[in-house]
Amino acid sequence: MMGRLCKGGCMIGPSILNSDLSRLAEECQRMLDAGADYLHLDVMDGHFVPNLTFGAPVVASLRDKFPGVLFEVHMMVSNPEQWIDDMSKAGADIYTFHLESSENPHQTIQKIRSKGMHAGCGIKPKTPVEPLSELAPLLDVLLVMTVEPGFGGQSFMTDMMPKVKYLRERHPDANIEVDGGLSPKTIEIAAEAGANLIVSGSAVVKSSDPKGVMTQLRDVVNRYRDSEKAEA
């Protein structure tokens, strides 16, 4: 059963990897109570990226506790096709794989959809944006990484914004997601470039006022999205 992914609207997805992992369910609830639109679950295999996090059993455990919440699994893994079945059974709503790790992205997207999940595809900072743009008509989420994937707490890469702008100009109704270093200090430039799905880790999760931070992020994105619609 697909979750509630809105088309082109602003959504804020805290990255729970930045939370207290010994209290994962409580931390997820804290983010939802503060106004999170979805939860961004970073899955790392120690191969595609150097870090190792969690897999389908953790996602399934969280799904049991949060049956109506939109889950995006960000698959920073080699051979992303291998985990589609498991993540579908675990209850993921959006399966976002990396273009760099898939030998046949069209086939990967088809398999994701066949399992009832939204299909997302992401690119690392050194990957050109054009191949992702070509896949856009087949995708529900276009992810532009604004840090090198694998670890939290990195600085936002402003030079990734031309990629976001390129995608927004060619795909005005697409869900364009940015992930890495998003905060009240960097949201303006991301929103101006055209991002509407905002993954934020430390800035939200480690804040004493996560609701205030998410409200600020959402307000800035909505201002730019409303301006774009008015100009269309």
> Which DSSP state fits 122?
E
Average pLDDT over residues 94-100: 98
Average pLDDT, the chain: 94
Domain count of the fold of the chain: 1
What CATH number is associated with residue 55? Answer: 3.20.20.70
Q: Which two tokens stand for residue 44?
A: 């790392």
**Residue 4 within a domain:** no
Nearest-10 Cα torsion for 32, 29, 2, 168:
40
**Residue 184 within a domain:** yes
Interatomic CA distance for residues 128 and 113, integer angstroms: 25
Pairing of strands 39-44, 71-76: parallel
Best CA proximity match to 105, nearest among 72, 75, 77, 138: 138
- Looking at residue 153, its pLDDT comes to 67
**Residue 2 within a domain:** no
Average pLDDT over residues 186-194: 98
Residue 168 makes CB contacts below 8 A (sequence gap 6+) with 174, 176, 193, 194, 195, 228
Pairing of strands 197-200, 11-14: parallel
- Looking at residue 8, its pLDDT comes to 79
**Residue 141 within a domain:** yes
**Residue 1 within a domain:** no
**Residue 40 within a domain:** yes
**Residue 5 within a domain:** no
Catalytic residues, which ones? 42, 179
Q: Which two tokens stand for residue 220?
A: 């800035």
16-53 pLDDT per residue, tens:
998 999 999 999 999 999 999 999 999 999 889 988 89
Nearest-10 Cα torsion for 100, 24, 213, 209:
-160
Instruction: State which residues form the domain around 48.
Output: 11-231
Average pLDDT over residues 117-137: 98
- Looking at residue 1, its pLDDT comes to 35
Share of the chain above pLDDT 70, in %: 97
